[in-house]
A and B are shown apart, each in its own frame.
Chain A
Amino acid sequence: AQKITQTQPGMFVQEKEAVTLDCTYDTSDPSYGLFWYKQPSSGEMIFLIYQGSYDQQNATEGRYSLNFQKARKSANLVISASQLGDSAMYFCAMRGMNAGGTSYGKLTFGQGTILTVHP
Chain B
Amino acid sequence: DAMVIQNPRYQVTQFGKPVTLSCSQTLNHNVMYWYQQKSSQAPKLLFHYYDKDFNNEADTPDNFQSRRPNTSFCFLDIRSPGLGDAAMYLCATSREGTGQETQYFGPGTRLLVL
Binding site for B on A (CB under 8 A): 33, 35, 37, 42-47, 50, 52, 91, 95, 101-103, 106-107, 109-112
CB distance from B78 to the nearest CB of A (A): 18
Q: Is the C-beta of B7 less than 8 angstroms from some C-beta in chain A?
A: no
B42 interface residue, CB < 8 Å from A? yes
Partner of A102, one of B45, B48, B96: B96
Q: Indicate if B43 sits at the interface (CB-CB under 8 A).
A: yes
Is the pair A44, B42 in contact by a Cβ cutoff of 8 Å? Answer: no
- The residues of B that contact A37 with a CB separation of less than 8 Å are 105
Instruction: Knowing A107-B45, A110-B42 are in contact, say whether A44-B102 is a contact too (CB < 8 A).
Output: no
Q: How many residues of B contact A (CB 8 A)?
A: 25
Q: Which residue of B lies closest to A111 (CB)?
A: B42
Residues of B within 8 A of A (CB): 37, 40-43, 45, 48, 57, 88, 90, 92, 96-108, 110
* Distance in Å: Cβ of A112 to nearest Cβ of chain B: 6
Give the distance in Å from the alpha carbon of A106 to the alpha carbon of B45 in the complex: 8
**Could you list some 19 contacts between A and B, CB below 8 A?**
A35-B103, A42-B107, A43-B37, A43-B107, A43-B108, A45-B105, A46-B105, A47-B103, A47-B104, A52-B100, A91-B43, A101-B99, A102-B99, A106-B57, A107-B103, A109-B43, A111-B41, A111-B42, A112-B40
Interface contact A50-B97, CB-CB below 8 Å: no
A116 smallest CB distance to B (angstroms): 14
Least CB distance from B1 to A in Å reads 14
Bound together, the chains give a CA A35 to CA B104 distance in angstroms of: 11
- A114 CB → nearest B CB, Å: 8
